[in-house]
Chains A and B, each alone.
Chain A
Amino acid sequence: MNHLVEAFDLLLDAESWSGPGGFGARMLEHLWYTALALIISSAIALPVGLAVGHTGRGRALAVISSGLVRALPTLGLITLAALFVGIGLTAPMIAFVVLAVPSILAGAYAGVESVSPATTDAAKAQGMSGWQVLIKVEIPLGLPLIIGGLRNATLQVVATATLAAYVGAGGLGRQLFLGLRTQDYPLMLAASLAVILLAIILDACFEFSQRLLRRLLGLV
């Protein structure tokens, strides 16, 4: 319990937030890693997921492969990747993308599939092309689920981004590992709390945007 009190003291101390190695800078790094991983994995998983959902082709493959990828231990993947590409951000980023892709992919195809066939048929009957159905009907209606996938991925990546520090990159993992290695448990706990705080804030942002969307789309 004492550790927890000390950890909060540390977090409330302005000094531990300042400087290049402080909590503030590390938290920004952590956020940046998370954002970068999400941008890269969205660029991969969204088009594939939408295509799978829209055409209905390759669904089994997408389900099986994303399930397999989910079973990969991230630390092992980082170590393996770092042995090939060297230390720095590249190896952890590969692992974070692998971690985020399955959720985003699943959200995308599930979102498109969730649109009732009657609706898409009606759209086609109006003379819409396949692209128009996808962009004007399926994506907007599937958006809550698509964003849900992004939300899951964000939560996983922000919690796992501490591992970037394992191979020489930054982020809140720096404080976490330093605390672990030097038996400075208040520091370790403070870093964990900072990660939790970040995760809660990001999740709240998604919750807010999902609600807003539902209202805008009249889905409430």
Chain B
Amino acid sequence: MRMYSAACAGIALLTLSACGGGGDPLETDDDDAATDGDSAELVVGSQQYYSNTIIAEIYAQVLEHEGHEVQREFEIGQREVYIPELESGAIDVFPEYTGNLAAYIDPDTDSGDPDSVHAALVDVLPEGLEALDYAAATDQDSYVVTAEFAEENNLTTVADLDDVDEDLSIAANSEFETRPYGIGGLADTYGVELTLVPVEDSGGPLTLRALLDGDVEVANIYSADPAIEDNDLVILEDTESLVLPQNVVPVVSENVDDQARDAINEVQSVLDQQALLDINAYSQSTQDSPADVAQWWLDDQGMLD
């Protein structure tokens, strides 16, 4: 589903940029005149992940609303590719996730609450790059069970799994075997012994299917996946912060002035978990372009008035 949405988003983007998204040179003259001479163009990038692209599009539209000229460089792919672009100043705004980015720059990043991980990220970011406020919304690995299973066994936190009197297995990507939040981490931190059933679609439809079929009792699904709500799944609370928090955080370059930063931070302040789930669910159900989804959400929030 995620791949499919990403592909759709990509096609939509291509069409969008093909029909005038690149901007009409004759028209921009008027806009420039209106924005007190601030003509520096800001480049907004995004990962090759539909949800990330929508967030990038939200930033872009808010910046445009503030009178900035914005160029979109979306669907860039992996960090190996776009981090150097950010460092060189070729990209100015990029929606990121606190934990993964911090761990990418410094593999020894310790997990903790969202505040401490954000602080760690601010510390390790290379010179010239800055992380703005983090949003309440996260898109992170989470331990998910069905509502019935949670009810039967009285589960609310990950630690509660220890009290279940049966052999439990978890569907996740194979890296779950070795990751700190994986099999070993669960045993060390919570005393929970799980057997890994590797399903390699990163919490996608096959993982979901395994959970709903009862092939596994627990599944590793991303916390911003609309499938969690759609299928009445329960996210077990990770009280010990075993999973590195992945709050949405914009990384910006020095080209982004205070006014623009304030505008983005305003988005951050309203982007809570429910908002991100709504955005992803809307995108998956309508298959609209990221631009349309972003506009729908911003209109809904009254942020483009």
Contacts and interface: CB of A to CB of B under 8 A. Distances in A.
A181 B175 contact: yes
B199 A166 contact: yes
B197 A168 contact: yes
B278 to A, nearest CB: 26
Given A79-B201, A166-B200, A167-B206, A87 B175 contact: no
B171 A87 contact: yes
Contacts of A82: 206, 209
B209 A87 contact: yes
Interface of B: 171, 173-175, 177-179, 197-201, 205-206, 209-210, 213, 215
B205 A168 contact: no
A178 B174 contact: yes
A165 interface: yes
A148 B174 CA distance: 36
Interface in A68-82: 79, 82
A168 B215 CA distance: 10
Nearest to A87: B210
Contact of B174 (A79, A83, A165): A165
A82 B208 CA distance: 11
Interface string A167-189: 11000001001100110000000
Contacts of A181: 173-175, 200
Contacts of A87: 171, 197, 199, 206, 209-210, 213, 215
B104 to A, nearest CB: 12
16 contacts: A83-B205, A83-B206, A83-B209, A86-B209, A87-B199, A87-B206, A87-B213, A88-B215, A166-B200, A167-B199, A168-B198, A168-B210, A168-B215, A178-B177, A181-B174, A181-B200
B173 to A, nearest CB: 6
Interface in A156-210: 165-168, 174, 177-178, 181-182
Contacts of B209: 82-83, 86-87
Interface SS of A by simple majority:
helix
B175 A79 contact: no
A182 B175 CA distance: 6
Given A82-B206, A87-B209, A165 B215 contact: no
Contact of B198 (A79, A83, A86, A177): A177
A181 B200 CA distance: 9
A177 B178 CA distance: 12
A177 B209 CA distance: 20
Given A165-B198, A166-B201, 20 more contacts: A79-B205, A82-B206, A82-B209, A83-B205, A83-B206, A86-B209, A87-B209, A87-B210, A167-B199, A167-B200, A168-B197, A168-B198, A168-B210, A177-B174, A177-B198, A178-B178, A181-B173, A182-B175, A182-B178, A182-B179
Contacts of B206: 79, 82-83, 87, 167
A86 B175 contact: no
A177 to B, nearest CB: 4
A165 B200 contact: yes
Contacts of B177: 178
Given A79-B206, A87-B210, A168-B210, A174 B175 contact: no
Contacts of B171: 87, 168
A188 B60 CA distance: 40
A181 B201 CA distance: 11
A32 B42 CA distance: 57
Contacts of A178: 174-175, 177-178, 198
A178 B171 CA distance: 14
A131 B49 CA distance: 60
Nearest to B202: A181
Contacts of A79: 201, 205-206
A90 B179 CA distance: 28
Nearest to A78: B206
B199 A168 contact: yes
A10 to B, nearest CB: 15
A182 B183 CA distance: 14
A165 B213 CA distance: 18
Contacts of B179: 182
A182 B210 CA distance: 23
A49 to B, nearest CB: 33
A138 to B, nearest CB: 44
Contacts of A83: 205-206, 209
Contacts of B175: 178, 181-182
A74 to B, nearest CB: 14
